[in-house]
Amino acid sequence: MHPPDGTVPEEGMALTFSDKAEAEIKALLPRYPAGEAALIPVLTLAAQEYGALTDDVIDLVSTRLGIPPTRVLATATFYTMLPKKPVGKHHVQVCTNIACSLLGAEHVVEKLERKLGIRRGETTADGLFTLSEVECLGSCGSAPVMMVNETFHENLDEDAIDRVLEECRRG
């Protein structure tokens, strides 16, 4: 597939955005007086398309927005939600900040480590789960809490943890 402006890709420049992502980028740009302001949303899209912001994805974003790759990389590496390496199909993120830790968040992480057979920060060999320990998710009144991809799971007890993992495994 060719880049959206119709030019022929250069040697080695294999990546392009999908039509869907390109449509989203086109909708994003008019919201800002400066194209660079679309950088974080576009990096987020790029991470969704390619799974991680590898060097060639950084180049793609740089070319598309006309921002030097060093500046794209500076932003990409600053934010924890912009992944530098691929995460599993289900990204399990457990809050272990103060309110959650008072109600047993450490136990939640340890249980997940045992059940998934990985340590925090790792991905299962089948690529199904990544387990991360994260900072406050803003759900302290329903602690302990974890997020799986875009969904919050609150008031976690033993059964809830088991149930969530099973639901993920079922698909």
Partner 1 sequence: MDRIFTRDWDKPQGHLLSVYEEAGGYGALKKALSMTREAVMGEVKAGNLRGRGGAGFPAGVKWGFMAKDDGGPRYLCINADEGEPGTFKDRYIMERSPHLMLEGAAITSFAINAHACYIYIRGEFYSAARRVREAIDEAVKAGHLGKNIHGSGFDLDIHVHMGAGAYVCGEESALIESIEGKPGKPRSRPPFPAAVGLFNRPTIVNNVETIAAVPSIIERGGAWYAALGTPGNGGTKLYCVSGHVKKPGIFELPMGTPLREIIFTHAGGMRGAAPLKAVIPGGSSTPVLTPQEIDVKMDFDGLKAVGSMLGSAATVVFDDTACMVRSLARLAHFYAHESCGQCTPCREGTHWMAKIVDRIESGKGRAGDIDLLDDVASSIMGNTICPLGDAAAMPVSGFLKKFRVEFEEHVTTGRCRFPPQALAPVKTDRAWV
Cβ nearer to partner 1, comparing 1 with 84: 84
Cβ nearer to partner 1, comparing 40 with 118: 40
Determine, following the binding rule CB under 8 A, whether residue 144 of this chain makes contact with partner 1: yes
Residue with tokens 């402006």: 5
Residue with tokens 């999908």: 18
- 70 CB-near residues (< 8 Å, 6+ apart): none
Minimum CB distance to partner 1, residue 3 (Å): 21
Nearest 5°: the CA angle 57, 62, 68 is 130
| Interaction residues for partner 1, span 50-79 (CB under 8 A) | 67, 71, 74-75, 78-79
Cβ nearer to partner 1, comparing 15 with 134: 134
Do 3 and 63 form a contact (C-beta atoms < 8 A)? Answer: yes
Determine, following the binding rule CB under 8 A, whether residue 19 of this chain makes contact with partner 1: no
